[in-house]
Structure 1
Amino acid sequence: MNNPFSLHSFLRPAAALAVATLLMDTSCTAPRAIVATGKVTPQGEFRVGYNQGFNIATAPLSKAGAAVRDAATTAANKDTVGYGGSVKNLQAAALAYILDPVQPTADLSIRYGILPRLDAGYKYAFGSHVFDAQFQLLGPTGSPEHPGAGAASGTTYASIGLQFATQRAKLPSIPFLGDINSVLNFKATRNDLLVPLIFSQSFGPEEEIGAISYGVVYAHSWVNYGFAPDNVYLNTQKIPALPNQSRDFSSYGAFLNVKLGYRYVYVIPAVSIFYQNYGDYALLNGASTSLSGVTFVPSLGFQLRIPTK
């Protein structure tokens, strides 16, 4: 996949190389691109969509330098690995990737208008299962064929959403992450809750030709993880496995998207930005690490509206 952003202009060469490596993987992550508008799906209608994005997170980039990649390759080729700073760095890199991977993202979605101001839907993010609902706070509830009272170009809409995603997280089998996993035997699961507050201005009555949308997002994530290496030693003592650990953290973000089309088919370019302090995480042999960072999520979506009346 071609990355439309020139990371080389603002990342160190080592980090840019890490991005190129991670681009080879398409494993799942909970979708955080906001492509909805303030207007919910009209009652009785369906919307189906496809969204392609890219998750660019600073935390894994900062942990994926050349020294870490070389250490992962060296450790993976040894029968026994001595515990030290390099093993701690490998654990931090694994955690950073699971918490906020640098990778392409994609999802297929379907939504249905349940009530005049309420819709709900399901997204499949190629391994992550996502359920969400959206309640419209402001604006008419008609359709392009049957506009509601006050519907016009420039009409303001507002809504609040709730999205829940669950997935079994894992490191992909690519260098250098595959090497890290072969050494550390890392396992993790995660659940994510996303609450966007969305405002939009309609292009045409009832978004007949689209809308511009913007707002803020709160997210909360729960992560369970553990390390169970088979051949990591401190002197002659085998390092015991790290039992299952539970952590959670909040993210705060903002977004902008533009919906363009006519009545039935739309294209939606969007961008979101998040900040998160992931917190402290226990590592093998009583060590720990702290992570924080910013995440950029550019995306391009396609939406098909299916009237049923």
Structure 2
Amino acid sequence: MKESILLKAKAASAFLLLLIFAAGCTAPRAVINSGKVTAPGKFKVGVNFGGNIATEPIGQLDDIAKATVDAIAKKDSVYYDDEIETATKALLAYSLDPVGPTFDFYVRYGLAPRVDAGYKYASGVHVFDTQYQFLGPTGTPENPGVGDWYGSIGLQYAGQSSEWVDKLFLDKLQPVLQFTAKRKDITVPLIFSKSFGPEEEKGSIAFGAVYNHTFIEYGFEPGELFKKVGGEVDRVNPLMEENSFGSYGLFANARIGFKYVYLVPAITIYYQDYGNYKLLNNAAYSFSGLTFIPSIGLQASFGRGR
């Protein structure tokens, strides 16, 4: 009996691990910048590898067995029950905070002595941001200013749709549930950093707080999904809703290198109360949890400046 329970637990853990590394199309919310913006006329380019580990979606997916999903998908007529409700909760929770690996590449350009802007492409998600430096010098290692502490505030926009559903085993329920979701994220980091060498010549260490606001539109348009009401059988009505929620986080990152090339490790942690969401058949559910976003990347700088 104990061996059977242990085998089931190992199988569930292995499945979740596979899911985490096989899926993921996540709005990038990791904070990897220092408090010093890119010098005017110069560029920074880089790549990042990481993961989005959210406690609520993992908990919801853990309640679903792949065998159950396969069995439902093979039925000619599906009736709304606890298993269907669990599946809808998992799909929604995952759309609120997709679990999985993250990969992105980006470019930043210095627009003015205290302002830069950037573009990032992250697994199909287009991200635009800008950053304003309100503290510290604005020189370069070749022409340094006075001081080694920096402070800045940023603004980032990202948008994505629910293409990630095709990467989950839950995609077999799409003909039944027809789930769609679109989200937009606005991220505002407040960053402070300490320079290693003049004007971050040898890198920096940074920390701060970050606020993210997510706007989500989601819906279900079930086809062959029915419910029994008394002695009659009715189709389950479609559902389309909108919601939004805030996330509050802390972060730390470092840039380790010399002049032109840096290694960039980072960790960002968010807490969010996702709020209350309507589901099919007049059901509703509330979600909340922590999200951990570790990452590591490489960054290079070039350009003559001005």
TM-score using structure 1 length = 0.90
Say whether residues 1:273 and 2:266 are aligned partners: no
**Cα distance 1:171–1:72, how it changes in 2: closer, same or farther (>3 A)?**
farther
Judged with a 3 Å threshold, the aligned counterparts in structure 2 of structure 1 residues 46 and 175 are, in CA distance, closer, same or farther, namely closer
Residue equivalent to 1:25: 23
Structure 2 matches for 1:281-292, cutoff 5 A? Answer: 281-292=277-288
Query: How many matched pairs?
Result: 292
Residue 172 of structure 1 is aligned with which of 165, 168, 172? 165
Unaligned residue ranges in structure 1 (runs of 5+): 1-11
| In 2: Cα distance, 1:145 partner to 1:216 partner | 31
Contact 1:185–1:228, Cα closer than 8 Å, also in 2? yes
- In structure 1, the residue matched to 2:97 is 100
Give the aligned partner of residue 226 of structure 1. Answer: 219
Pick the structure with more helix per residue: 2
Matches within 5 A, 1:59-98: 59-65=56-62, 67-98=64-95
Q: Shift in Å at residue 223 of structure 1?
A: 0.3
Structure 2 counterpart of 1:206, from 199, 206, 226: 199
- Does the residue aligned with 2:151 lie in a helix, a strand or coil? strand
Show structure 2 runs of 5+ residues with no match. 1-8
Deviation at 1:66, TM superposition (A): 5.0
Residue 51 of structure 1: how far off its partner (Å): 1.0
Further displaced range: 15-24 or 195-204: 15-24
Does the 8 A contact of 1:15 with 1:64 survive in 2?
Answer: no
Measured at CA, do residues 68 and 249 of structure 1 come closer, stay the same or move farther in structure 2, by a change above 3 Å? Answer: farther
Q: Given that residues 191 and 221 in structure 1 are in contact (C-alpha distance below 8 angstroms), is that contact kept between their aligned partners in structure 2?
A: yes
Question: Residue 240 of structure 1 corresponds to which residue in structure 2?
Answer: 237
Aligned mates of 2:164, 2:67 — CA distance in 1: 17
Partner SS for 1:240: coil
Cα RMSD between the aligned structures? 1.5
> Is the 2:23–2:164 Cα contact (8 Å) retained in structure 1?
no
Shift in alpha-carbon separation, 1:218–1:175, aligned structure 2, 3 A: closer
Q: Amino acid of the residue matched to residue 134 of structure 2?
A: L
Partner of 2:4: none
Give the 3-state SS of the residue equivalent to 1:270 in structure 2.
strand
TM-score, structure 2 as length reference: 0.91
Work out which of the two has the higher radius of gyration on C-alpha atoms and give 1 or 2. 2
Match of 1:8 in 2: none
From 180, 185, 189, the counterpart of 2:178: 185
